[in-house]
């Protein structure tokens, strides 16, 4: 299985752990990732919400570049995933918009023909690779690890891409297959506040705090997330929340690929787990244990 | 909008007609955007919104106000700036109205008319655009520096401990990573900004048939 890999800006700066783990896990499971040559920022939600054609044009530059490769685009960042998908939908829907965007792209000698397909690594792992194959590669079962699966807003919404929009279960299936326990977690699609953390800070802290509290209530050992911004909001502001809301948060927030990587027997460095602020004790124990299941 | 400004019922004042044209133009480009006609004012959007308690005009009221011909109040409200784009309203709407996309349209209209919120939220998007035009990629530390220089320097201090923590973990990339074909990207952006500028009248026929007040001019 071959894919074009579009990491996105945040995976090259603040969230290298996600970048490393995504590449190693997918490569380990037999997927071949080629990074999109000379990609640019997708524009994210901010750009999309204020300049229409400009935002579509910069997203379409990536789509046009990727289209030449003729492979599915895999992007781990939730925001990139939504924006690229959305841009594709807008352009497919309106010939008028497509014409003006192609007019812009022509300045750089590019053209978009609406044939790109944007995927999320979770989609690839569950639907392309499949849990049965992942079980074959399992080296360290995640016994007794209680995970709260946090999907964030933008990978299942606004349009149904690969999972249910109200109660997605891809991550549950994935972790169940490697022996972990999924706790009841009602906040799996609750908004973490997103970019409001820099603008309306108290509102965002309030939202993130609720997510952490629900995870603690259900005795989760860690939260598995799919979005770089959610990871940042939930992890980096725990001290502040403890001060404001009198809580005792010390919840490790890991990317789902990092947790899966441990089960597949990958090293800490390959997964970038050392870059997280809080380490998960149970996961460390599993990591340090010897390989129990042989590679088939 | 003041009551005195409404002269004839059913006819809009010039400013409101302007806003309406811009808005309907924008809605026209949203896939299935015209579903806004089918709003039944059930309030599912407001009920689903995790931030509705902060809004002065809730998402349901927003659509009601648009129908009543008062887009002016919407673009002056806090609502469009508070939205965190979680898409809960859009997903749950029983009439499949693209509420979040509609809020984006209104935000765009507000920014084009230089109507900004009290808290300088819009500087964040300005800084974002600056970063993309300069490097083609987003550089988070620089985004924050631009933002704090514009929105109040003292705020930056509250983020310093976090920046320090990130640096220790090797997660703070101060050196901005520039894409190779930055010139090509700038050409694309410049061209696109020109296309973004004028009020497109391509959707004129659509506008005339659209919801509520038929008379736009």
Q: pLDDT tens across A159-181, in order? A: 888 888 889 999 999 999 999 99
User: B84 and A196 in contact by Cβ < 8 A?
Assistant: yes
Residue (of A198, A248, A257) closest to A22 by Cα position: A257
* 3-state secondary structure at position B7: coil
User: A191 and B171 in contact by Cβ < 8 A?
Assistant: no
* 3-state secondary structure at position A148: strand
Average pLDDT, chain B: 80
**Does B82 reach chain A within 8 Å, measured CB to CB?**
yes
d(CA B99, CA A187): 22
* 3-state secondary structure at position A3: strand
d(CA B210, CA B106): 17
Residue B202 sits at φ, ψ, to 5 deg, of -60, -30
Region B113-123: mean pLDDT is: 79
Residue in A41, A49, A237 closest to B138 by CB: A41
Q: Which tops the pLDDT comparison, B159 or B105?
A: B105
**Does B195 reach chain A within 8 Å, measured CB to CB?**
yes
Whole-model pTM: value is 0.88
**Class of residue A268 by CB neighbours under 10 A (exposed 0-12, middle 13-18, buried 19+):** middle
Region B180-209: mean pLDDT is: 71
* Cα A103–Cα A41–Cα B195 angle in degrees, nearest 5: 30
d(CA B151, CA A238): 24
User: B138 and A9 in contact by Cβ < 8 A?
Assistant: yes
**Does A18 reach chain B within 8 Å, measured CB to CB?**
no
**Does A48 reach chain B within 8 Å, measured CB to CB?**
yes
Residue A12, both tokens: 């090259």
User: B162 and A236 in contact by Cβ < 8 A?
Assistant: yes
Residue (of A186, A123, A119) closest to A150 by Cα position: A186
Q: Which of A92, A108, A161 should we substitute to test contact with B (largest number of B Cβ atoms within 10 Å)? A: A108
In chain A, residues 186-205 whose CB comes closer than 8 Å to chain B: 189-191, 193-196, 198-200, 203-204
Residue B89, both tokens: 């309203």
Residue A72 sits at φ, ψ, to 5 deg, of -65, 145
Region B126-130: mean pLDDT is: 80
**Please, which pLDDT band fits residue B209 given cuts at 50, 70 and 90?**
low
Region B197-205: mean pLDDT is: 51
d(CA B56, CA B113): 20
List of residues 6+ apart from B80 with CB closer than 8 A: B74, B103, B106, B107, B110
Residue in A46, A89, A203 closest to B128 by CB: A46
**Does B15 reach chain A within 8 Å, measured CB to CB?**
no
Q: Which of B22, B25, B84, B93 should we substitute to test contact with A (largest number of A Cβ atoms within 10 Å)? A: B84
Region B211-217: mean pLDDT is: 45
Nearest CA in chain A to B167: A14
**Does B17 reach chain A within 8 Å, measured CB to CB?**
no
The whole-number pLDDT of residue B16 equals 80
E strand segments, chain B:
none
**Does A58 reach chain B within 8 Å, measured CB to CB?**
yes
Q: Taking a C-beta distance cutoff of 8 angstroms, is the pair A225, A150 a contact? A: yes
Distance of CA A32 to the CA centre of its chain: 18
Region B92-120: mean pLDDT is: 87
The whole-number pLDDT of residue B156 equals 74
The whole-number pLDDT of residue B211 equals 47
Region B85-97: mean pLDDT is: 92
Predicted confidence (pLDDT) at residue B83 exceeds the cutoff of 70:
yes
The whole-number pLDDT of residue B99 equals 92
CA dihedral over B1, B3, B6, B8, signed as positive or negative: positive
d(CA B178, CA A266): 31
CA dihedral over A259, A262, A266, A272, signed as positive or negative: positive
**Please, which pLDDT band fits residue B2 given cuts at 50, 70 and 90?**
low
ipTM of the shown complex:
0.86
- pLDDT 10s digits, B3-46: 555 555 556 677 788 888 888 888 877 888 888 889 999 999 99
What's the DSSP call for residue B76?
A: T
Phi-psi map region of B126: left, alpha, beta (phi>0 left; psi -120 to 50 alpha): alpha
Query: CATH for A136-288?
Result: 3.40.50.11810
Candidates 3.30.70.100, 1.10.10.10, 3.30.470.20, 1.20.1050.140; CATH matching A2-119: 1.20.1050.140
User: A54 and B124 in contact by Cβ < 8 A?
Assistant: no
**Does A38 reach chain B within 8 Å, measured CB to CB?**
yes
Domain ranges of chain A: 2-119, 136-288
Q: Which of A6, A12, A13, A214 should we substitute to test contact with B (largest number of B Cβ atoms within 10 Å)? A: A13
Domain ranges of chain B: 12-116, 122-196
**Please, which pLDDT band fits residue B216 given cuts at 50, 70 and 90?**
very low
Predicted confidence (pLDDT) at residue B50 exceeds the cutoff of 50:
yes
pLDDT < 50: residue spans in chain A: 296
Domain B12-116: which topology? Fumarate Reductase Iron-sulfur Protein; Chain B, domain 2 (1.10.1060)
**Please, which pLDDT band fits residue B146 given cuts at 50, 70 and 90?**
confident
The whole-number pLDDT of residue A290 equals 76
């Amino acid at each position: 299985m071959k894919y074009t890999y579009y990491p996105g800006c945040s995976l090259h700066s603040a969230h290298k752990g996600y970048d490393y783990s995504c590449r190693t896990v997918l490569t380990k499971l037999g997927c071949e990732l080629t990074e999109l040559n000379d990609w640019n920022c997708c524009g994210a939600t901010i750009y999309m919400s204020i300049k229409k054609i400009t935002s579509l044009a910069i997203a379409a530059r990536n789509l046009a570049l990727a289209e030449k490769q003729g492979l599915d685009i895999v992007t781990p960042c939730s925001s990139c995933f939504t924006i690229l998908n959305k841009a594709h939908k807008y352009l497919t829907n309106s010939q008028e918009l497509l014409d003006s965007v192609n007019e812009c792209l022509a300045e750089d000698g590019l053209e978009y023909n609406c044939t790109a397909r944007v995927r999320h690594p979770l989609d690839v792992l569950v639907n392309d690779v499949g849990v049965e194959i992942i079980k074959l590669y399992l080296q360290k079962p995640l016994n007794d690890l209680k995970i709260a699966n946090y999907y964030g807003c933008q990978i299942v919404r606004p349009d149904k891409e690969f999972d249910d929009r109200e109660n997605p279960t891809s991550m549950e299936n994935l972790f169940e297959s490697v022996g972990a326990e999924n706790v009841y977690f009602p906040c799996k699609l609750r908004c973490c506040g997103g970019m409001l953390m820099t603008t309306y800070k108290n509102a965002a802290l309030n939202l993130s705090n609720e997510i952490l509290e629900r995870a603690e209530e259900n005795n989760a050992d860690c939260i598995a997330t799919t979005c770089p911004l959610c990871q940042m909001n939930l992890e980096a502001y725990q001290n502040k929340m403890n001060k404001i809301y009198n809580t005792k948060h010390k919840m490790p927030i890991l990317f789902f690929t990092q947790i899966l990587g441990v089960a597949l027997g990958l090293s800490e460095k390959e997964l970038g787990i050392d870059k997280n602020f809080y380490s998960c004790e149970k996961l460390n124990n599993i990591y340090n244990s010897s390989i129990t299941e042989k590679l088939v | 909008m003041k009551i005195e400004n409404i002269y004839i019922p059913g006819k809009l004042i010039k400013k409101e007609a302007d806003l309406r044209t811009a808005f309907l133009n924008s809605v026209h480009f949203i896939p299935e955007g015209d579903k806004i006609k089918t709003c039944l004012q059930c309030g599912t959007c407001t009920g689903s919104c995790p931030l509705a308690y902060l809004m002065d005009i809730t998402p349901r009221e927003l659509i009601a106000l648009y129908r009543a011909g008062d887009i002016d109040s919407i673009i002056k409200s806090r609502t469009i700036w508070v939205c965190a784009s979680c898409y809960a309203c859009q997903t749950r709407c029983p009439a499949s109205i693209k509420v979040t996309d509609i809020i984006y349209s209104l935000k765009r209209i507000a920014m084009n008319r230089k109507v900004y919120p009290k808290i300088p939220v819009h500087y964040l998007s300005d800084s974002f655009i600056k970063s993309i035009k300069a490097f083609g990629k987003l550089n988070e530390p620089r985004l924050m520096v631009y933002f704090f220089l514009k929105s109040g320097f003292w705020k930056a201090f509250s983020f310093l401990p976090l920046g320090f923590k990130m640096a220790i973990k090797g997660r703070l990339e101060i050196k901005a990573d520039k894409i190779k074909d930055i010139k090509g990207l700038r050409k694309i952006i410049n061209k696109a900004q020109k296309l973004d500028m004028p009020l497109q009248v391509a959707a004129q026929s659509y506008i005339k048939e659209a919801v509520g007040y038929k008379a736009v001019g």
